[in-house]
Chains A and B, each alone.
Chain A
Amino acid sequence: MSREVRRVYRWDLDKTYLRTEFDSLSRLARIPFETADQKVNVPASAALLRELSSPLPGEPAPFVSILSGSPLQMRRVLEEKLALDGIRWDEFVLKDNLGNLVRGRFRALREQVGYKLPALLRSRAALPPGSREVLFGDDSEADAVVYSIYADLVAGRLTVQDLQRVLRSARAYADARSAAREALSAVPRADAVEVVFIHLDQRTPPHRFAALSPRVVPVFNWFQATLVLFARGHLDAAAVVRITRAWLEQAGVSPEVLANHFQDIVRRGHLPAHAAERLGLLVSEAESTDAARRVVWGCVRRFRDVSPGPRYRAPSAPDPLPDYALLVDRGLGAEASPTPPAEGDPAT
Chain B
Amino acid sequence: MDSPPRVTIALDAMGSDHGPGEVVKAAATLSLSRPDLTLVLVGDEPLLTHLLSQDRYDPGQIAIRHAEGFVSMDESPGAALEARPRASILEAASLVASGAADALVTAGPTGAAVLAAARRLGRIRGVRRAALAAVYPTEALHGPVGDPFALLLDVGATTSCDARDLVTFAALGSAYARAVSGNPSPRVALLSNGAEPTKGPDEVVDAHRLLRSADIVDFAGNVEGLDIPKGTVDVVVTSGFVGNVVLKMLEGVAELAADLARDASGRKFLWRMGLTMLGSGLRQLQEMTDWSQYGGAPILGFERPVIKAHGRSRARAVANACKVAAKVARADLPREVERALGRVGEVPVPPRGGPRP
Contacts and interface: CB of A to CB of B under 8 A. Distances in A.
Contact of A261 (B50, B59, B135, B315): B59
Contacts of A348: 135, 147, 149, 180-181, 294-295, 324
Given A203-B58, A267-B45, A347-B294, A307 B320 contact: no
B56 A263 contact: no
Contact of B53 (A207, A257, A260, A311): A207
Interface string B175-193: 0000011000000000000
Contacts of B62: 260, 264
B267 to A, nearest CB: 32
A313 B53 CA distance: 14
Nearest to B182: A348
Interface in B26-64: 28-29, 32-33, 38, 40, 45-46, 49-50, 53-64
Given A260-B62, A306-B64, A346 B321 contact: yes
B28 A307 contact: no
A269 to B, nearest CB: 8
A343 B316 contact: yes
Given A267-B64, A306-B64, A341-B29, A346 B53 contact: no
B64 A268 contact: no
Contact of A344 (B55, B148, B149, B320): B320
Interface in A248-279: 253-254, 256-261, 263-264, 267-268
Size band of the interface chain A makes with B: 35 or more
A71 interface: no
Contacts of A341: 29, 315-316
A205 interface: yes
Nearest to B68: A309
A123 interface: no
Contacts of A254: 6
B212 interface: no
A257 B63 CA distance: 9
A69 interface: no
A185 interface: no
A128 to B, nearest CB: 37
B324 to A, nearest CB: 5
B319 interface: yes
Given A306-B40, A346-B324, A207 B54 contact: yes
A263 B294 contact: no
A263 B64 CA distance: 8
B320 A258 contact: no
A258 B60 contact: yes
Nearest to B55: A205
A307 B29 contact: no
Contacts of A35: none
Given A306-B63, A306-B64, A347-B295, A267 B49 contact: yes
A308 interface: yes
Contacts of A344: 293, 316, 320
A345 interface: yes
A65 to B, nearest CB: 29
B100 interface: yes
B66 A345 contact: no
B208 interface: no
A130 B326 CA distance: 55
Contacts of B323: 345-346
Nearest to B322: A346
Q: By DSSP majority rule, is chain A's interface helix, strand, loop, or mixed?
A: loop
Contacts of A261: 59-60
A258 to B, nearest CB: 7
Contact of B32 (A203, A210, A259, A267): A203
A311 B64 contact: no
Contacts of B28: 340
B123 interface: no
Nearest to B35: A257
A309 B91 CA distance: 14
- Report which residue of A206, A220, A261, A305 has the largest number of chain B beta carbons within 10 angstroms of its beta carbon: A206
Interface in B126-141: 135
B272 interface: no
A203 B293 contact: no
B330 interface: no
A204 interface: yes
A178 interface: no
A203 B57 contact: yes
A203 B288 CA distance: 33
Contacts of B324: 346, 348
B65 interface: yes
A207 B55 CA distance: 8
Interface in A308-347: 308-309, 311, 313, 337, 340-341, 343-347
A74 B38 CA distance: 41
Given A256-B38, A346-B295, A347-B135, A204 B46 contact: no
A335 B324 CA distance: 34
A220 B157 CA distance: 43
Contacts of B320: 343-347
Nearest to B181: A348
Contacts of A346: 293-295, 320-321, 323-324
Contacts of A306: 40, 63-65, 100
Contact of B59 (A220, A256, A311, A347): A220
Interface in B145-203: 147-149, 180-181
A261 B59 CA distance: 5
27 contacts: A204-B56, A205-B53, A205-B54, A207-B54, A210-B53, A220-B60, A253-B60, A263-B59, A267-B64, A268-B53, A306-B63, A306-B64, A306-B65, A307-B64, A309-B66, A340-B28, A340-B29, A340-B55, A341-B315, A343-B33, A344-B293, A345-B320, A347-B148, A347-B288, A347-B320, A348-B180, A348-B181
What 9 A-B pairs have minimum CB-CB distances, sorted nearest first?
A346-B295, A346-B320, A264-B59, A257-B60, A207-B53, A347-B293, A206-B53, A207-B54, A203-B56
Interface of A: 203-207, 210, 220, 253-254, 256-261, 263-264, 267-268, 305-309, 311, 313, 337, 340-341, 343-348
